[in-house]
Structure 1
Amino acid sequence: MQAYWTRWEKWMQKHAPKLPDTLNPGVAPATVDALERLIGSKLPADFKSFYAIHNGQQRVKTGLVDADQLLPVEDMITQWHHWKNVLDSGGFIYNEEIIASTPDTGIKSDWWNPLWIPITSDGFGNHLCIDLDPAPEGQYGQIITVWHEDSHRGILAPSFEAWMHQYITAIEKGEYVFVKKWGIVHKDTFLNYND
Structure 2
Amino acid sequence: MIATPLPEPRDVPAVLGRLEIRIVREVPLHPATLPPGVSEADLNAFEARSHVTLPPDLRALYRWHDGGDQLGLSFLSLIHLDCGREMEAALAADCMTDLDEIIVSHPPGALWPMYALRDWLPCLHEGSGNHVALDLKPEAAGRVGQVITTGLDEDRRFVLVPEVHTFLRECLRRLNGFQIEAWQVRFQEIGGRAPEGYGVLADLFLSFGAPPAHTDTGWYWR
**Aligned counterparts of 1:100 and 1:109: Cα–Cα separation in 2:** 8
More displaced stretch, 19-28 vs 162-171: 19-28
User: TM-score of the superposition, structure 2-length normalised?
Assistant: 0.73
Number of residue pairs matched by the alignment:
180
Give 2:161's match in structure 1, choosing from 157, 161, 166: 157
**Distance in structure 2 (CA, Å) of the matches to 1:188 and 1:98:** 32
Secondary structure of the equivalent of 2:147?
strand
Q: What is the deviation of 1:40?
A: 2.4
How far off its partner does 1:150 sit?
2.2
2 CA distance for matches of 1:18 and 1:184? 15
Residues in 1 aligned to 2:94 and 2:137: alpha-carbon distance in whole angstroms: 21
8 Å Cα contact 1:39-1:114 kept in structure 2: no
Q: CA deviation at 1:128?
A: 0.6
After TM superposition, list the pairs within 5 Å mapping 1:118-133 onto structure 2: 118-133=122-137
User: In the TM superposition, what are the counterparts of 1:36-75 in structure 2 within 5 Å?
Assistant: 36-57=47-68, 63-66=69-72, 68-75=73-80
Distance 1:184 1:51, change over 3 A: same
CA RMSD of aligned residues (A): 2.1
1:84 Cα deviation from its structure 2 partner:
2.3
Matches within 5 A, 1:96-135: 98-104=100-106, 105=108, 106-135=110-139
- Indicate whether 1:179 and 2:190 are aligned: no
Deviant stretches of 4+, over 3 Å? 97-100
Judge conservation of contact 2:97–2:115 (CA < 8 Å) in 1: no
| Whole-Å separation in 2 of the counterparts to 1:111 and 1:168 | 31
CA shift for structure 1 position 184: 2.1
Specify the SS of the correspondent of 2:115.
Answer: coil
How far 1:33 sits from its partner (Å)?
2.4
Q: d(CA) in 2 for partners of 1:102 and 1:22?
A: 37
Change in CA separation of 1:182 and 1:170 when aligned onto 2, cut-off 3 Å = closer
Q: Give 1:84's aligned residue.
A: 89
- Specify which structure has the bigger relative contact order, considering alpha-carbon pairs within 8 angstroms and separated by 6 or more residues: 1
Could you tell me the TM-score, scaled by structure 1's length? Answer: 0.82
1:188 aligns with 2:194: yes
**In 2, distance between residues paired with 1:101 and 1:35?**
29
Any stretches of 5+ residues in structure 2 without a counterpart? 1-11, 198-222
